[in-house]
Amino acid sequence: MRRLTRRDFIRASALGMGAVVVSSGLTGCGGSSSSNNNDDGRQVAFHHGVASGDPQTQGVILWTRVTPEDGNTAPVPVSWEVASDADFTQLVNEDSAEVREAYDFTLKVDVQGLEPGNTYYYRFRAAGVTSPVGVTRTLPEGSVDQVTFAVLSCSNYPAGYFHVYAEAAKEAQLDAVLHLGDYLYEYNTTGYDGDQAEQMGRALPENNDLEMIKLEDYRRRHALYRTDADLQALHAKAPFIAVWDDHEIANDAWMEGAENHDSTEGDYLMRKQCALQAYFEWMPIRPFDDNDREIIYRSFHYGDLVSLHMLDTRIIGRDQQLSYTDFLTETGIDAEAFTAAVTDPERHLLGTTQLNWLSGALATSSATWQVLGQQVLMGRMLMPAEMLQGLLAPGPELVALIGELTTLKGRYLQGDPTLTEEEVARLTTVLPYNLDAWDGYMAEREMLLRTAKELGKNLVVLAGDTHNAWASHLTVGSGEDKQSVGVELATASVSSPGLESYLQLPAEAVPQAEQAITLLVDDLQYLNASQRGYLRVTFTAEKARADWRFVSTVKSSDYQVDEARGHSMTVQAGSPALTQAD
């Protein structure tokens, strides 16, 4: 069988990744009097709720899925209403279309002709059945006082309940929900932290309890996730602005492959095409490029206050990840070869085309804040090589090592003259913690941050992927030439396990590990390594405020918000430094 090429992928993706219906006003085809809303004998349901996304100043994407319950696979007529009031007395848009089996009976409507900065209510009807009501909001224009985002990532259904989605849905005011990837996971029930799934009632159904490879696998997994009431509540609360990460396809994906894909699973580009087709069908995302659905990097402008640039650090431009095992010798890591590889200017994460687009977007935007919504940590996570070895192969001695290195770092920061050269070397011989993140693509990161520095932008980078909450200063240069450029704020996961699982530390040792890692990594300012949660970021002309919210557990249906572990930090406009918030 001939291997699918990149050109084949682009051609197929342009033809087969779902359809968007454009609707620009009141057509008289919807509403309670429409024949589309009468019971024509079909039996249908809206099991997967409603959603909106990718807002513009005068438009927004609306989404739903109609489930035929009678075995009839013929097209289903669907109508919708959009109103400026919750009672739907002030309609601004109503229209109709058909949902078809070819697109898994999903419907995406690009509603146009709306007013900037307004809240709207929407609902769908089919065969006499009415969907839940959703709330959405268009982008504002001109002078804007405040913008608030909820930032989330990494929701693994068998790993636990989606309490984090439920809590985010309770936020009083959200301009948008930023989902930074790993919206779902490709594994079977027990493939990743699913050992308690059966007792929680979170096991995958029999017809989808396998690793996703085919189109029907990805569709069924999306459908399962969207039956979750907490996820439905958040989708109905506010528009989503989403990007994919790796697990929407397969773990540690890059341009031409993935760690969790091998030749026995068929052609990788074919698998990717299936995954992205399902993603475009099920997510309220507006295609950025009608000729290539692999491109999802795009900008959203909240008046004069925030320009949000959503990036793809996973699929469109990423070279294959480095691995420390490739540089091992009999005496340890070949530092010279590793340094040459990790700083190679030809290694790309965004790729030249996307990087040029982003540089232009930063240069032309006059908004107070430039915000990058992307997947992996950008901050320098350089830690003592000795510590890294302990983290990669955790054991009982790790707690003692953490304490020893922390003590040495404290003495080093105080200028203790009694430190030996060997002790200083233990602290200053550092290596990147995660080569799947920006630390594995140093030259491109340096190029991007220097561009932001030269343009004098207030830069805030948002990240997911790691399942932990982090805050870092973003810097360029080293030694006396080291300069701050901006800040990075990373959200914890919705349900996927974090460092507390990987490090195999007893619960009482986790706070010490958090403090030690924060101290030992120079640019790191905050870490919660053990809890699931989300990040709320609020922007004003004077400052950006980050509030991390955590839940007590995702392994039980009973939980509380952990108020004691919540954390807040701010950064002032014109001063790229994080401080504790009042």
In this predicted structure, what is the pLDDT of residue 13? 43
The answer to whether 224 and 356 have CB atoms below 8 angstroms apart is: no
- Closest by alpha carbon to 462, among 489, 427, 440? 489
The answer to whether 68 and 98 have CB atoms below 8 angstroms apart is: no
- Closest by alpha carbon to 115, among 56, 193, 174? 56
- Closest by alpha carbon to 572, among 561, 580, 564, 560? 580
Give residue-wise pLDDT tens across range 43-62: 999 999 999 999 999 999 99
In this predicted structure, what is the pLDDT of residue 39? 55
d(CA 379, CA 381): 6
For residue 301, what are its two tokens?
């402008």
d(CA 57, CA 209): 41
313-352 burial: b if 16+ Cβ within 10 Å, else e: bbbbbbbebbeeeebeeeeebeeeebeebbeeeebbbbbe
The answer to whether 533 and 548 have CB atoms below 8 angstroms apart is: yes
Number of neighbours of residue 516 by Cβ within 10 angstroms: 23
d(CA 220, CA 324): 36
Give residue-wise pLDDT tens across range 107-135: 999 999 999 999 999 999 999 999 999 99
In this predicted structure, what is the pLDDT of residue 28? 61
Q: Where are the domains of the chain?
A: 1-139
In this predicted structure, what is the pLDDT of residue 35? 41
The answer to whether 282 and 226 have CB atoms below 8 angstroms apart is: yes
Q: ∠ at Cα 161 (155, 164), nearest 5°?
A: 65
* R_g of the chain, CA atoms, integer Å: 24
d(CA 67, CA 63): 13
What pTM was computed for the model? 0.95
CB neighbour list of residue 135: distance below 8 Å, 6 or more residues apart: 119, 120, 121, 122, 236, 237, 238
Residue type at 320 in one-letter notation = Q
d(CA 173, CA 433): 36
For residue 290, what are its two tokens?
């009608």
Number of neighbours of residue 261 by Cβ within 10 angstroms: 21
Coil, helix or strand at residue 213: coil
In this predicted structure, what is the pLDDT of residue 476? 94
φ/ψ (deg, to 5) at 248: -65, -20
The answer to whether 114 and 31 have CB atoms below 8 angstroms apart is: no
Positions of E strands within 376-455: 382-384, 430-432
CATH of region 1-139:
2.60.40.380
The answer to whether 296 and 64 have CB atoms below 8 angstroms apart is: no
- Rounded to 10 degrees, what is the CA torsion of 468, 471, 476, 478? -90
pLDDT < 50 stretches in the chain: 1-2, 4, 6, 8-16, 31-37
Number of neighbours of residue 172 by Cβ within 10 angstroms: 5
For 140-181, the DSSP string reads P-S--S-EEEEEE----GGG---HHHHHHTT-S--SEEEE-S
